[in-house]
């Protein structure tokens, strides 16, 4: 009887240890990023936002998640690659990796501050998301604007687009004229764009987004 109890006890320990190892290996395989919060992105229709965030688990923004998005925007491009990755949707990860691995990106970010936020649907910049990923994502996105503390110019500002996935504010696109270094930027406007809700009416970029963002930038020498 004692031998049988010992054998059962050893088997139970082995089962628990095996289960724990499976959980640990699963966490390691996902890199600490659970698939329910960071699912694989989906293909875009074309345009600036590519790939598109996975629509799984997207929710409307609440005041608490909006506050979290604003806080994440204030830290964007300042802390570390790991910090930016954890606050971003998987659709943006390739760009973040490139940004950080080409050198310290945010040399002048300390002078930038959050300059407001609003539902993306109320902004002329919504056309970027609609043309690439559809209206559903645009209607569930928050736009947070950051820019230099002491400069008042639209071309100096960056628009950060966030989604709410299961209560997590995640950055998925940045419309920006500067990435790290100081840049001279010019917005490409379409003066003949007079469709309802056009950026010319609401203030924003061209609806003709094409395969890349409608901003041209050159490094300031």
Token representation of residue 79: 């802390």
Smallest Cα–Cα separation from 93: which of 103, 85, 82?
A: 85
Task: Evaluate if residue 197 carries a pLDDT over 70.
Answer: no
Residue 144: CB atoms within 10 A of its CB come to: 25
- Strand arrangement of the beta sheet that strand 168-175 belongs to: 112-119, 141-148, 158-165, 168-175
Rg of the chain taking only CA atoms, in angstroms: 22
Question: C-alpha distances in angstroms, 96 versus 28, 55, 89?
Answer: 21, 21, 10
Strand pairing report for 141-148 and 158-165: antiparallel
Query: What are 217's two structure tokens?
Result: 């930038």
pLDDT tens for residues 85-109? 999 999 999 999 998 888 655 555 5
Residue 129: both structure tokens together: 């998301």
Distance CA 86, CA 46 (A): 26
Domain ranges of the chain: 63-219
pLDDT band at 201 (very low <50, low <70, confident <90, very high): very low
Could you read off the pLDDT of 124-141 as tens digits, one per residue?
A: 999 999 999 999 999 999
Q: What is the predicted pLDDT for the residue at 101?
A: 87
Give the chain's mean pLDDT: 73
**Model pTM greater than 0.75?**
no
Positive/negative CA dihedral, 154, 45, 52, 195: positive
Q: Say if residues 121 and 195 touch (Cβ distance below 8 Å).
A: no
Omega before 11 within 30 of 0, i.e. cis: no
| CB hemisphere CA count around 72 (13 angstroms) | 29
Q: At which residue do the structure tokens 């628990």 appear?
A: 16
């Amino acid at each position: 009887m004692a031998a049988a109890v010992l054998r059962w006890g050893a088997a139970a320990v082995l089962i628990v240890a095996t289960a724990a190892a499976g959980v640990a290996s699963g966490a390691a395989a996902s890199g600490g990023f659970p698939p329910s919060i960071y699912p694989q992105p989906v293909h875009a229709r074309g345009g600036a936002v590519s790939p598109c965030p996975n629509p799984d688990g997207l929710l409307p923004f609440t005041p608490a998640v909006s506050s979290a998005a604003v806080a994440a925007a204030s830290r964007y491009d300042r802390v570390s690659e790991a910090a930016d990755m954890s606050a971003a949707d998987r659709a943006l990860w390739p760009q973040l990796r490139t940004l950080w691995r080409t050198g310290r990106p945010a040399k002048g970010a300390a002078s930038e501050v959050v300059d407001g936020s609003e539902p993306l649907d109320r902004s002329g910049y919504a056309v970027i998301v609609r043309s690439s990923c559809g209206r559903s994502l645009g209607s569930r996105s928050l736009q947070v604007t950051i820019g230099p503390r002491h400069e008042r110019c639209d071309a100096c500002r960056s628009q950060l687009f966030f989604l709410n996935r299961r209560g997590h504010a995640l950055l998925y696109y940045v419309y920006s004229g500067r990435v790290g270094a100081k840049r001279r930027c010019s917005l490409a406007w379409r003066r003949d764009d007079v469709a309802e809700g056009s950026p010319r009416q609401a203030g924003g970029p061209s609806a003709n987004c094409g395969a890349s963002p409608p901003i041209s930038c050159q490094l300031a020498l």
